[in-house]
Chains A and B, each alone.
Chain A
Amino acid sequence: MTAKLPPGLQLEKEDDKIMTLNVGPQHPGSGHMRLIIKVDGDFIVSCDPDPGYVHRGEEKMAEYRNYITNIPHLERPVIHDSCNILYPYVLGVEELLGLEVPERAKYIRVIAAELNRIVYTLYWLGIYGIFLGHSTMFMWPMGDRELAIDLLEKLTGARVTHSYFVPGGIRNDAPANFEDVCIRQVNYLEKRLRTYGDIFYDNPILIARTENTGILTREDAIRLGTTGTVLRASGVDFDIRTKEPYDVYDELDVHTNVLKNGDSYDRSKTPWLDMLESCNIIRQALEKMPKSGSVRVKLKPNPKGGDDEVYKRVESGRGSLGTYIVSRSKPEPYRLKMSVGSFRNLICLPYLLKGEKLGNMPAVYWSLNYWPVEADR
């Protein structure tokens, strides 16, 4: 190991015009991460993302706990999208143990995952709004988010950290009046979401700040291996829910939202379109769901997988979320790896920011739908 200064602390020698700025890790505009940005006047010359301030070793912890006790801590990286981050893990363990999930549980899982996508995306949208100085867009999503949170609380008993999905189904059945309340709240929520189009997405100030900034071309999006809303905003039609349907997504009509410009505006609009699609999916699932039946198969105590490995992926609020479990006939996984959307999208930040104005940095950075805690795991 050389005794070089850490990146970001070097002195600029080649040219006095270039200044190094540390954005974060405490800056409210960066979340718990640091961006080392070099600027020439108002223009960004280079950007070096430095995540890791909230790394807590989820993958290491998972090697010490069995398949059931792993559930609560694995959802911590994104507590406001906790159903989706547990989804691939649960699917993987089910394949390892050879469990058959009851039909009703599959539908309730889809409903919970879509509600959670709305909860996550509204939180992200609120932060995006306040970054661009649009305080109404902070207040409205935070208020409307409560509708979905209340539904999840009714379903799971917890407002954010649900721990609701378990290998073999879900932890408990939905309460008796859930369907009626759910359809009423989702219909109202959709009406509210549509008003965001007028106040935010058609707003000339937002368009002026985000259109044609941070353009990611289709070829670059593929080459850099981006995922989720970033990929779809660049014109690539790829959504795990339609490409590799899990649980009952193949029985539902899922529309994939694809925009083609790949600028910050399209990247900020795709999650909103996804939320409207989520309302659609929830309504379909509520209609097709079996009205009664078992929701969980009973596991043996301390279940063991064989000498096998499994890679499962789902579409989370931030894109494809893969979990790779290597089992060696023990109650604990031998190795567990989470490949998360935030970490995969991070690589395109230096490309997007190069040549941008410094003032556009927050607009580009948050349009990546990035959640620092998830990227660090």
Chain B
Amino acid sequence: MSDTDSRKQEETETKLVVEKQDDLPKFEKEQSNKITEKFGSKTEIAFVKPDRVRVNVKKEDILEVASFIRDELHYDHAESVTGIDFPTDKEIEVVYHLGSYTDPKLGRQVLSLATRAPREDVPNPGNDSTRLPSLRDIFYSVEFHERECFEMLGVFFEGHPDNRRLLLPEDWADLPPLRKDFKIKGR
């Protein structure tokens, strides 16, 4: 690349574009409205972006909300289940990303359903208060994802038939590795 080219590239340096969307995407807004109409203050719509909606619920209500999302909004499978550790809040968040194969209108949509479990400073996975109801009976596809979440963050899923280790060695005796207080050596 010649000098002039590289100089040109420097000129096209982009700035952070912060766009506030006043009129939210219509289809996604309808989806989130259906959830708020049904559940009211039990759910909190965290954001509505193009093709993405996020719903926060308490762990007591997640089974009810998930069944509604499956039966009424026609989401039929989970794409991923992510556990996120928030040590300052003393909570662990679990986010389900749900998608749909059967409803062609939902091809672009991913609905995030998030809930939080209490976090203990000295974890004892499976035997402490870090527990959530399993969504395996509602979305069958979460089976392996929830197993991964259990070993990586120590969130026990009640009602899951197979809460065994999946990726970690059977004799792993340290903290669940994706918690923030588990540090990589030398870093």
Contact = CB atoms under 8 A, between A and B. Distances in A.
Interface of A: 1, 6-7, 50-52, 55, 57, 59-61, 64, 97-100, 168, 172-173, 222-225, 231, 236, 238, 243-244, 294, 296-298, 300, 306, 309, 311, 313, 320, 322, 324, 326, 334-335, 337, 339, 343-344, 346-347, 376-377
Contacts of A297: 9, 12-14
A322 B97 contact: yes
Contact of A7 (B12, B79, B164, B182): B164
A305 to B, nearest CB: 9
Given A243-B108, A334-B84, A335-B82, A60 B184 contact: yes
A329 B145 CA distance: 28
Given A294-B8, A297-B14, A324-B80, A225 B139 contact: yes
Interface in B58-103: 76-80, 82, 84-85, 95, 97, 101-102
Contacts of A346: 144
Given A7-B164, A339-B97, A223 B76 contact: yes
Contact of B101 (A7, A60, A238): A238
B24 interface: no
A349 B84 CA distance: 28
A343 B77 contact: no
Given A51-B167, A335-B82, 8 more contacts: A50-B166, A222-B76, A223-B141, A297-B9, A335-B178, A337-B80, A339-B145, A377-B167
B141 A61 contact: no
B187 interface: yes
Contact of B184 (A64, A225, A343): A64
Question: Contact size class for B?
Answer: 35 or more
Contacts of B102: 222
Nearest to A222: B101
A326 B54 CA distance: 13
B79 A339 contact: yes
Interface of B is mostly: loop
B17 A98 contact: yes
A52 B166 contact: yes
Nearest to B52: A311
Contact of B82 (A7, A294, A324): A324
B9 to A, nearest CB: 6
A334 B180 CA distance: 10
Given A60-B177, A225-B140, A326-B84, A98 B108 contact: no
B101 A231 contact: yes
Nearest to B102: A222
B82 A238 contact: no
A298 B14 CA distance: 7
Interface string B1-44: 10000001110111111110000000000000000000000000
A225 B169 contact: no
A231 B95 CA distance: 24
B51 interface: yes
Contacts of B101: 222, 231, 236, 238
Q: Pick the most buried of B82, B85, B182: most chain A CB atoms within 10 A of its CB.
A: B82
